[in-house]
Structure 1
Amino acid sequence: MPKHAIFPLLMCHGLLISSSGLAYAQLGGTLALDSDYRFRGSSFSDGKPSLRAGVTYDDPDGWYAGGALARVSLAAERKEGQALLYLGQTLHSTEGNGAELGMLATHYTHSSRYDYQELYAGLLAERGNVRIYYSPRYLGHPVQTAYLEFNGGLPLSRELSVFGHLGWLGRVGGHAGGDGWRHDQRLGVALHRNGWEWQLAYSTSHGQGPLPAYYEASRRAWVSTLARYF
């Protein structure tokens, strides 16, 4: 399974994403069930369980592309689909380390006015990464945003690991949305075996920032995820 096969899963939660470093093309995917689908510290599923599916392709020259589908609720009692597409390239400097550039587009099936795109750049290491994202119209509003995140993971055994995430979202232009920075954190443990993974994490967010979400059940939540990798 290519490492970027988990991009749709981990991108949504801001966890560890590392480059594959493999010299042949790979196709992979994920199926996941979240107890609460949270993006950058905000609930996008009305605090309820959500199903997600993703597929990705890794090219031997460092290019990767993929997409993901998720069930979301941007407003209480209204369910719809979220489609996420991405394209990027990993640039290796040494084994296990490198950089990446890419773009990400998000579409909502019944709330397309909230569609938006982001460009991102990052530095990758074996056990962590840092990324910055820029959107010219975040969540479809006339506001430019930047999101900075730090992610890391540490294996405790062959099947058990811990992970952490810190992120900051702020307005860098435009006239919509609040001022200041919104920051989110996530800390958890993952158990993986035979293509399955179970995660338990504590997610928090603080501050106002620009348009963090249209429905947020809580700024603090325990989230459980069961995922299958292919």
Structure 2
Amino acid sequence: MAVLVVLFAVQARAQMTGSATLVSDYRFRGASLSDDRPAAQLAFDYDWAASGWYAGGMMSSVRLDARDAVQALVDAGYAHRVRTDLSWEAGVRYSRFTGHESYAYAEVYTGLAYRQLMGRLYYAPNYFNAGYPAWYGELDGNHVLSGRWYVFAHAGYLRRSGDVADYHASRFRADVRAGIGVNLAPCNVQLSWTTTRGASDAVLGYPSAAGTTRNAWVLSLSYAW
């Protein structure tokens, strides 16, 4: 509903972009939502540059509870440029999965971007519909090497609330991703290494399959329009 309100209430002319991506492993905040297998994704974004409003969405194939499914994720927000190289934003995001268990949840976020650095803080009152709230902070950056080549990195930290005594484990988890990419517009190829430390997928409520790895090389190929 939040996305529909933004789509139809804002009168400024919108710019739409999209992309189709194939990944060797779909990693969400460090957790594999594709059971360490390849996934296909489709994304779109609407941007009303004059007003600062934006909206977008993504669909990805996933494998949850030993079954194939699809994740649908939509978000909407407002961004404001303070100066040429500095801006802030705030928005909402909603995610759910097809199948007998939707794991549906919503979260709000705020962010700050400075040149090639982007930081966001998320809060979900019912993370992955597991019955407890969670905070997630992330920092992303990239740097052009030469020509079409660039490097990128991501660091995230998640804290869940609620009782974890039954798990005998931490309520915190960090995830890190770093890699190299080449821009062959309209295509983009990336190779990255991702790893996590801390709480297990079960503690955090992720519906990933048992036995998925914490560390992985991920290859992605995307086509943008």
TM-score (ref. length: structure 2)? 0.86
Instruction: Count how many residue pairs are aligned between Structure 1 and Structure 2.
Output: 206
2:149 counterpart residue number? 160
1:145 counterpart residue number? 134
Maintained 8 Å contact 1:191/1:197: yes
- 1:45 aligns to 2:45 (yes or no): no
Distance in 1 between residues matched to 2:122 and 2:40, nearest whole Å: 25
2:92 counterpart residue number? 103
Which of 212, 216, 224 does residue 217 from structure 1 map onto?
212
User: Which residues in structure 2 correspond to 1:1-230 (within 5 Å)?
Assistant: 25-60=14-49, 61-76=51-66, 78-171=67-160, 173-175=161-163, 179-208=170-199, 210-215=204-209, 217-230=212-225
Q: Give 5+ residue unaligned stretches, structure 2.
A: 1-11
After TM superposition, give the deviation of residue 25 of structure 1 in Å.
Answer: 3.1
2:5 counterpart residue number? none
Distance in 2 between residues matched to 1:107 and 1:145, nearest whole Å: 17
Report the residue type matching 1:62 in the other structure: G
Larger Cα-atom Rg: 2
**Paired residue secondary structure (2:133):** strand
Maintained 8 Å contact 1:196/1:226: yes
Deviation string, structure 1 residues 102-139 (Cα, Å, up to 9, x no partner):
11100101144411111010101121111110000001
Deviation string, structure 1 residues 56-87 (Cα, Å, up to 9, x no partner):
100021111011110001223x1001000000
Maintained 8 Å contact 2:62/2:70: yes
After TM superposition, give the deviation of residue 154 of structure 1 in Å.
Answer: 0.4
Deviation string, structure 1 residues 151-175 (Cα, Å, up to 9, x no partner):
110011231100001101111x344
Maintained 8 Å contact 2:170/2:198: no
The 1:211/1:160 distance shift into structure 2, 3 A limit, reads same
RMSD: 1.7
TM-score (ref. length: structure 1)? 0.85
Maintained 8 Å contact 2:35/2:208: no
Which consecutive segments of 4 or more residues in structure 1 shift more than 6 A?
none
The 1:29/1:182 distance shift into structure 2, 3 A limit, reads same
After TM superposition, give the deviation of residue 94 of structure 1 in Å.
Answer: 0.5
